[in-house]
Structure 1
């Protein structure tokens, strides 16, 4: 079956509230202490994301951040829609930022990799005539007993992605969110989202960024190849199909989160994928060593608009 590119099938532009960094810093400093023993939130220049340990294609989170919400569980359940794909460069163009740095969690291009895979999208289109794609993917190895990570230069992806899109300016101000020794029930990215809900209520606030897991271990899943028949419930996906692993720091995570979806756009409220220099990579769930875990994140609120692509286009 021939695959079709759905990168221009935009459903909606969503206006957002964009709080100042100073306000967010104060809110997060107070609220994250409900889940972590040590919390420090400040405003800093974005670190060089091209340098270790990030090793990304773009220099920084940048200015004029916007989020592309592409696909969703409707492209996976009850059966995968394997006849459709998306392209990062075309997504940036449709989101009105053709010269962009784009990153975020999603499903990697099985038609390129040769098998189903997790993805951290990573592409820099800011330079004229010199695209730089360094997407990280992780997949289950052929014998089914482990996983492997690789970097690919294809801008394609499938099923779903939550993409941070910006001008990639290297020295833009961002929130630095450090937290250590989890003593609550909520993971790092979830605790950030809960803080936004507690303060802003039904207002839609969206953040995107990268965070480091400097110490500890985390629970991560990697998708295997698709089954031969449809699923009957999403619980089958979570409990029987996905392959779970405990992975070790240091890990680099790309994360996109929204405070709520009260207007029914079917937003993915939180999505985080990770990768590393030692080969651990996949979909982040939570840390498994709360007494020793250390997080250090760099986030920015989305500016004005979110771009929503169809859940099951």
Structure 2
């Protein structure tokens, strides 16, 4: 999660490399864009406040650069700022936005541009909601809404190396990231979470397609591939950071999760103690914890601990696995 200090560091020391670069002449951009789009994105203009209905639209989806179609923001990070421009708390990826010092009009501001094509988007300020505290104030005319059927769900069930490896195998799962959730500390480190003092659990955030795998299926697989009856314990791992937990984003998801727990309970002699909690924030773990099994499958831990879990997953849910 980017914070103001990260924005300042990038503006001062140089931005991250984008996934790709698109460069066109001014005449080429003029031929592709409307007059207002060209004025805002290529000439660093600003649209009139409250001129777009995009400010008040919060349905699921993503927002891409109107010039090059690079996806920049997710609707989950959009909020009502009351400023008259669409506002977001985070970019969809750290390297999609460039930060540039702007001292025009006698003010010191940080301009935001698309890292792929240098389109002017708006500015970023440090008066947004926590935990990032950022407000990306973006011209609506610089964005295009992109329909997306993807949804997210966040689970904790012991070491995230194990849970990540299992859910990566499932059809309909687009992406799995390891991280921390459920506590109060912003951007905790692995060492801090392992101390058991942050309130965070080791979790995975799953991006999935409901048309291919349902929320209920994901919850059921979660509950039957770790031990949901032990409090703050999974195998040799002990501590609140290893607690069994399901984070829901809507009331419907809460009810569905509770129903699946009720249905699965008969498979266990002991009571399921999995916590069901409203999702607040996901803090992505360090790079060395991402895609851990695929990068370290020959290590002793992966062979002794994760391989048996994968074998159980395959025996229970062969029809749910990717080919």
- TM-score, normalised with respect to structure 2: 0.26
More contact order relative to length (CA 8 Å, sep ≥ 6): 1
Select the structure of larger CA radius of gyration: 2
Q: Which protein is richer in strand relative to its size?
A: 1
